[in-house]
Each structure stands twice: as C-alpha cells, then as structure tokens.
C-alpha cells in the first residue's frame, strides 16, 4: 500500500470543499485566538479607568501574556513535531478557553494577570500550529493566498473585539469579554475534533501507511468524482529532524530572518496597536471615544491582511514585506504629527493597513515556509519564542517612552525595528513564491544569499 509522496499529491489538488473545510476549522480557532489577544486593548482601558488596575499593572498584564505566549510557542513546536499537528491544536484551544473563563471571575488584578499568563500559553501555541498546519495542506500555487487568509481570520478579532467591547462592556462590564472568548474557544475545540492530521508530517516521521490512507481519503474528497492531474515526481527529500540543523547554515540564516521579523511585528502589534485605547484615554478621551477611534483604525487590520494574502503569490514574499515596511516607516513618521480629530483616525487607519500586510506575510505565510516539515513546528516555535520573549519588556518600554515623549517616542522605537527588518529580509531572506515546501527543503545545500544572486 505504501506510496505516499504526499507533498506533490497535495500540491496538485484543485481547491475545493476539502480546503474550505480545513480553512474553516483552522480559521475559526485562529479567530478566537485573535479575539482573546486583542481584547486586552479594550479591557485594559476600562480596568484602568475604573481603578481596578494601575498603568504598571497593565504593563505587567501584557508582559505576562507574552511570557505565556513565549512558553506556548516554544512548547508547541516540540509537541507538534513529536506528537503531530492534530494533538497540539486541540490541546492549546482547551488551555486558553478554560483560562479565559477563569479570568472572568478574577477577584483582583493580580489574579487576572495570572489567568492571562495561562491564556498566553494557549494563545502562543495556537499561533504556531495553526499557520504551520495550513501551509502543509494548501497547494503551492495558492499557498500564499490561503495561508494569508488564515491571518485575516485572526485579525478580524481586532475590530470585532473592539466593536463587541463597545456594546458589551458598558452594559455587562469587562468580565463578559473573557466569558465570550472562553466559550467561543471551547466550541471550536469540539468542532475541530474532525480536523485531519497533516499527511506531510505523517510521512516525515515514517508513519507511511497512515499517510497513504489519509492521502487517499483526501484525494477522494477533493476529486469529487473527477480525475485528478498526476502528481509531480516524488519530491520527498531526506532531511535531518535534528534541532541542531537549525543553527548551522543555511537554516541559521532563515532562523535569523524569522527572529528579526517576529520581534519587529510583535512589537508593532503589542507596543502600538494594542495600546491605542490606553493612549487615547491617557490623552483625555472618554472610554467611548477611545473605543470609537481605535475601532476606526482597527478596520485597517482585515484590509491590510487581505491585501497581503492577495498579493503574496503575485508580488512575492520579499518585495511585499519590504514595501509594507517602508510604507509603515513613512506613515509612522507622519502619525505623531497629527492632532486633528478627523485626520488622526484616517492616518491611523492608513498606518494600520501596511502593519497588517506584514502580519499576514510574516505570521501566516513566510515564517512557516522557511523550514522543512521535519522541524517546521520547532523552528517556527523557536523564532516565535524569540519574538514573544523580546516583547516581554515592550510594555514597560512603551510606558516609559509614552510618558517621556508621548506617541512620538513609541513610534521612534517601531521605526527603528522596521528599518532593521528591511535590511535583514533584503540581505538574508529567501523567496518561496510558487515553490513547493519540498523544493525549498532541497535548497538547503546552498546559502540563501547565493540563491538570491543566481
């Protein structure tokens, strides 16, 4: 029975109900991941206004979220490569769903921070396993678009969490936000029991009979009674699953690119976007006005992510990352100069769009493509850990910069990181557009800089 060649067989499948089912099951879990991450912005503004917390406690809340996400990212990488994608994405949903419900009953800010830490473990795990799993199922010709739209599911949590907060918090208080996030996550946990394992992973770890049986079932569902095009010649490449290979060339260059990009984008998200309601309240706006301004800017999140998803396969990963970074730098210089109440959300919306183009490209598409199947989860987990770990100090740095220089001080940090990202991606980044994951693995005998020059 054993034949597999799962990579080529998956890449030649027509997009159909099977892929839409995978997208739905992964996407709804990723949505609640985003909802739970982004509710921090709306909740922290309210708990600060009501005296339940202080500004340093808010910084600790965000910082401990990152500690949990860092541990979740690191742990899920090893769990995912050892026990499979299916086990891991079920486990992390259960963790952050239960912790979110517990947070709703926190008697004081310290207990809420502790619950948020546990939530962070599940949130960090979901981020790694969801994107990596999607990349392993989608055909190469449209991998960028479909992986990018997974990010759209996540970032829809930003405007929706702000909209829900504007309706729910005034009536039911901030605790209701954690109830909604927790119940949603547990419903998705139940629904995702039907999500299959990755055939690429099964083949990579030598479970060939299972991989072949699963591939035949997927092909029957995808074919819908019509003949399928023949797969390309076997693209299976023997590669080491030893984690030490990540720290020698050429994977070391990819690890550097992944780490720099994720430090940058995490700092943009959680050092600027998540803090918007707090910034507005500290500048004298009411809670309602703060939510309104932040919601207008947050609408740029799904727009930017959709642009990233739709252009990644057309323009390429590297040009889109560099272009969006340059645009973010330009608008980041302009944003602190705006004080007009009409122009402020408009320029803020324009700034949010390229930031979320980067979110789609980096989280959803580029980072999972950098590494071979045998170590994809561990490598993604490690660079996500570095990204999360670096931003543990970001909330305290943001408070210091905001109190000293206002929004301009915060934006100066963001611009510095974006410039570093542009240089790193240009010098060390690979271009995975229209290349199978197995083809990228075969390239591991050459340095990325040499491949880019050829």
Which tens digit of pLDDT belongs to each residue from 37-81? 778 767 887 888 888 888 888 888 887 887 888 888 888 877 887
Q: Which two tokens stand for residue 414?
A: 């963001």
Tell me: the pLDDT tens digits for 168-199? 888 898 899 999 989 998 998 888 888 888 89
Enumerate the domain spans of the chain: 6-453
**C-alpha–C-alpha distance, residues 368 and 139, integer Å:** 14
In the structure, what pLDDT confidence band is assigned to residue 239 with cuts at 50, 70 and 90? Answer: very low
> Is the separation of the CB atoms in 422 and 414 below 8 Å?
no
| Cis previous bond, 250, omega within 30 | yes
More confident residue, 120 or 405: 120
For residue 269, the 8-state DSSP code is I
User: How high is the pLDDT of residue 15?
Assistant: 86
Q: Which CATH architecture has domain 6-453?
A: Up-down Bundle (1.20)
Q: Is the pLDDT of residue 260 over 60?
A: yes
Angle, alpha carbons 206-209-212 (nearest 5°): 105
Q: Is the pLDDT of residue 236 over 70?
A: no
**C-alpha–C-alpha distance, residues 44 and 282, integer Å:** 12
Name residue, tokens 């239960």.
98
User: How high is the pLDDT of residue 424?
Assistant: 95
Q: Is the pLDDT of residue 377 over 90?
A: no
Q: What φ, ψ does residue 234 adopt, rounded to 5°? A: -50, 125
**C-alpha–C-alpha distance, residues 279 and 297, integer Å:** 13
CA quadruple 43, 100, 189, 268: dihedral, nearest 10: 40
| Cis previous bond, 312, omega within 30 | no
Residue 69 to residues 73, 95, 96, 307, 379, Cα–Cα distance (Å): 6, 12, 11, 27, 15
**C-alpha–C-alpha distance, residues 379 and 382, integer Å:** 5
Note the residue count of the chain.
454
**C-alpha–C-alpha distance, residues 244 and 50, integer Å:** 50
The whole model's pTM is what? 0.77
Mean pLDDT of the chain: 82
* Closest among 317, 294, 437, 323 to 373, alpha carbons compared: 437
Q: Is the pLDDT of residue 287 over 60?
A: no
Mean pLDDT across the stretch 387-409?
Answer: 79
Tell me: the pLDDT tens digits for 349-374? 888 899 999 999 998 889 888 888 77
């Amino acid at each position: 029975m054993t034949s597999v060649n799962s990579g080529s067989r998956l890449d030649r499948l027509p997009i159909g109900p099977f892929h839409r089912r995978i997208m739905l099951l992964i996407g709804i879990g990723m949505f609640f991941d985003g909802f739970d991450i982004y509710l921090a912005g709306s909740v922290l503004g309210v708990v600060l206004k009501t005296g339940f917390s202080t500004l340093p406690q808010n910084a600790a809340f965000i910082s401990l979220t990152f500690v949990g996400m860092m541990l979740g990212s690191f742990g899920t990488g090893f769990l995912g490569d050892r026990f499979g994608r299916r086990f891991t994405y079920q486990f992390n949903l259960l963790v952050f769903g239960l912790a979110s419900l517990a947070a709703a009953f926190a008697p004081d800010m310290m207990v809420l921070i502790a619950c948020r830490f546990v939530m962070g473990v599940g949130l960090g795990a979901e981020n790694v396993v969801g994107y990596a799993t999607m990349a392993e199922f989608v055909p190469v010709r449209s991998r960028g678009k479909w992986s990018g739209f997974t990010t759209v599911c996540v970032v829809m949590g930003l405007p929706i969490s702000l909209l829900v907060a504007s309706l729910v918090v005034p009536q039911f208080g901030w605790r209701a936000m954690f109830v909604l996030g927790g119940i949603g996550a547990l419903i998705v946990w139940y629904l995702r029991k039907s999500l299959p394992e990755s055939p690429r992973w099964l083949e990579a770890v030598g479970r060939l009979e299972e991989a072949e049986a699963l591939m035949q079932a997927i092909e029957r569902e995808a074919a819908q009674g019509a003949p399928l095009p023949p797969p390309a010649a076997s693209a299976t490449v023997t590669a080491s699953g030893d984690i030490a290979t990540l720290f020698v060339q050429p994977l070391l260059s990819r690890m550097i690119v992944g780490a720099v990009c994720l430090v940058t984008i995490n700092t943009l998200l959680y050092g600027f976007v998540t803090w918007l309601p707090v910034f507005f309240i500290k500048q004298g706006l009411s809670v309602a006005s703060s939510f309104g301004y932040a919601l207008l800017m947050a609408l740029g999140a799904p727009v930017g992510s959709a642009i990233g998803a739709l252009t990644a396969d057309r323009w390429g990963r590297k040009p889109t990352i560099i272009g969006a970074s340059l645009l973010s730098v330009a608008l980041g210089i302009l944003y602190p100069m705006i004080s007009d109440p009409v122009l402020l959300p408009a320029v803020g919306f324009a700034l949010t769009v390229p930031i979320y183009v980067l979110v789609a490209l980096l989280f959803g598409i580029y980072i999972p493509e950098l590494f071979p199947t045998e170590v994809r989860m561990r490598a993604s987990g490690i660079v996500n850990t570095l990204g999360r770990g670096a931003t543990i100090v970001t909330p305290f740095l943001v408070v210091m910069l905001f109190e000293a220089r206002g929004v301009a001080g915060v934006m100066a940090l963001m611009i510095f990181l974006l410039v570093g990202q542009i240089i790193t991606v240009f010098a060390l980044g690979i271009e995975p557009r229209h290349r199978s994951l197995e083809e990228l693995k075969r390239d591991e005998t050459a340095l990325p800089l040499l491949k880019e020059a050829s």
